[in-house]
Amino acid sequence: MNTEQTRQLIERYYQALPKGNAAAIAELLTEDCEWLPPATADLSPIKGRDAVAEQFSGALVKATFDLSQPFKLDVRRMVVDGDVAVVQQRLAATAKNGNAYQNDYCWVYECRDGQIARMEEYADTLLAAKVMGWAID
């Protein structure tokens, strides 16, 4: 994929994401798509279009945040080169335990044949654990 194709694909993904439509998200993913959470997160990689789409269409958000409160995802910067896009973003929400959550994320997307093949996530997992009340080793 060229740079402009990749940019358009990632923009479509960020338009579909807040709608929580698993089918629309799945259309943007390769069948063998994989999501790699931060290395220090207590999460295993998720593989497969349907499994990744399910997580990003709302399962992960609903399990982590109080959706009766404001939820805001701001894309701050996108850098694209060929079939790779890097997106810097900020998430502001309320954790299930009522704590305010603000964290910066960096996502690296690898694209193939008009779809996202790999999603690698970077975030401050120590901050997330403290706010969410998760056990810290």
137 assigned to some structural domain: no
CA distances from 101 to 16, 21, 42, 78, 89 (A): 23, 24, 18, 23, 14
pTM here? 0.93
Partners of 34 in the β-ladder: 47, 118
Give the model confidence (pLDDT) of 27-66 as tens digits: 999 999 999 999 988 889 999 999 999 999 988 888 899 9
18 assigned to some structural domain: yes
In percent, the amount of the chain with pLDDT more than 90 equals 83
Residue ranges making up the domain that contains 56: 3-129
CATH (domain of 51): 3.10.450.50
Give how many domains the chain has, as a whole number. 1
90 assigned to some structural domain: yes
In the predicted structure, residue 136 carries a pLDDT above the cut 90 = no
Cα distance from N-terminal residue to C-terminal residue, the chain: 41
136 assigned to some structural domain: no
**Long-range contact pairs involving 93-99 (C-beta distance under 8 Å, separation at least 24):** 93/65, 93/66, 93/69, 94/65, 94/66, 94/69, 94/70, 95/64, 95/65, 95/66, 95/131, 95/132, 95/133, 96/63, 96/64, 96/65, 96/66, 96/132, 97/132, 97/133, 98/66, 99/131, 99/132, 99/133
134 assigned to some structural domain: no
pLDDT value of residue 42: 82
Other beta carbons within 10 angstroms of residue 120's beta carbon come to 17
96 assigned to some structural domain: yes
Between CA 17 and CA 58 the distance in angstroms is: 9
pLDDT value of residue 137: 62
101 assigned to some structural domain: yes
In the predicted structure, residue 129 carries a pLDDT above the cut 80 = yes
